[in-house]
Amino acid sequence: MLKKVVKKYYKLYYLILVLKLLFHKINIIFLYRFKKEVKNRAKIEIFSFKELSSDLRLYSNFFYKENSLYGNDKAVDNALKGKLKHSDYIEHGYYFGNHVQIGTYNIDSNIITYSYQRVKHLENKFKESNANKENRKVVTIGPYINYSVGLMKIKNKEEIKEKYGKILLVFPSHSIEGVSYKYNTEDFIKEIEKISLDFDNVFVCMYWKDIQDQRYLEYEKKDFKVVTAGHRNDPNFLGRLKDIIDLSDMTISNTVGTHIGYCVARNKPHYLFNQFQKLEGERVEEEFKERKNQNYVKIRDEEIEEVIDAFSNLSYIITEKQRLVVEKYWGKNEVKYHIITKEENNNV
């Protein structure tokens, strides 16, 4: 009887070992192919938007896979001087309002975000949910883009500037998987054309999903140059975006988003031509269910309105008011550690 049990145990142990080895081999093969593809895309210019926006499966060695979206993990690791942990959680974009990702409640390690404004929201949410049973550490680092490494050499940038001159860079509102943002493209293009009279060329930086959906066609018809930072799963996304913004002389968008803070962080003036956005798609309800929470809606709308108020007047220089708003929500270029306890929030 004992021999049979031992025999079964060894068979099970051997099967598990074989499966682990097989999974490890598959993972190595996938990692090799992923790195090769990323390396190839790093050589592709920003104007080859279709190639850069083609599907790319995400590879991440973090517990929270979303850490590797947009190459945020590379930028954050640079900010923390190589001390980003496997279990740390990175807020992958600026969340207006008191929204907190569900997974954040269970994180025992560091939470990395932009500014002290987010620290306050995290503290309040943790206390409301009784999630901070122990001290929680939140790290604010400011705009992630400033810690990313661009792909272009100085010579490449000089050649582009010589060819295209003074550049107006456009950020149309972008869709996400399962949700499309619909807006009056005709009105937006008219506003772009009006401002573009002071510039030599217009670059339109489009999101990979909108490129796959061919939403770039209306901009191409106007002879605007379409560019992209690439697929969100590309580790070089943020570095490529940094290059694109740095090439510009002025930036414009039609909705509030992380891009506004990034443009100002790169010392580029930004104008917000705020437009109504109609949401369509199969995942609208799932993605925006929190909007039914009146408290969230109130706080979110107040914060967004502050950004709209600061950027809705066309200015070819960054105003003091705009810098203060960006500093409030996107933070400063400095790393600070904050401890959230049940009783109070202490800066360390």
Inter-residue contact 326 to 265 (CB < 8 Å): yes
pLDDT digits (tens, 9 = 90+) for 47-100: 999 999 999 999 888 888 999 999 999 999 999 999 999 889 999 888 898 888
pLDDT digits (tens, 9 = 90+) for 97-154: 888 876 666 667 789 999 999 999 988 887 776 655 567 889 999 999 999 999 999 9
Q: How many CA atoms lie within 13 A of 134 on its CB side?
A: 6
Distance CA 100, CA 105 (A): 8
pLDDT level of residue 348 (50, 70, 90 thresholds): very low
Inter-residue contact 211 to 49 (CB < 8 Å): yes
The pLDDT of residue 237 is 98
pLDDT level of residue 346 (50, 70, 90 thresholds): very low
pLDDT level of residue 347 (50, 70, 90 thresholds): very low
The pLDDT of residue 180 is 72
Distance CA 122, CA 126 (A): 6
Q: What average pLDDT does range 172-189 have in this prediction?
A: 84
The pLDDT of residue 105 is 63
pLDDT level of residue 175 (50, 70, 90 thresholds): confident
pLDDT digits (tens, 9 = 90+) for 301-314: 999 999 999 999 99
Strand ranges inside 157-305, DSSP E: 167-171, 180-182, 201-205, 225-227, 250-253, 270-272, 278-280
Look at strands 89-90 and 111-113 and give their pairing. Answer: parallel
Q: What average pLDDT does range 28-39 have in this prediction?
A: 87
The pLDDT of residue 163 is 97
The pLDDT of residue 75 is 97
**Where do the structural domains in the chain lie, given as residue ranges?**
65-142+332-347, 154-328
Per the prediction, the chain carries an average pLDDT of: 87
Closest by CA position to 308, among listed 237, 244, 253 = 253
Among the four given CATH numbers 3.40.50, 1.20.1050, 2.40.10, 3.40.1620, the one describing domain 154-328:
3.40.50
Q: What average pLDDT does range 203-224 have in this prediction?
A: 95
pLDDT digits (tens, 9 = 90+) for 256-297: 999 999 999 999 999 999 998 776 766 656 656 666 677 778
pLDDT digits (tens, 9 = 90+) for 220-262: 999 999 999 999 999 999 999 999 999 999 999 999 999 999 9
Q: Would the pTM of this model clear 0.95, i.e. be above it?
A: no
- Of the chain, the percentage scoring pLDDT greater than 90 comes to 65
Q: How remote is the C-alpha of 16 from its chain's centroid?
A: 38
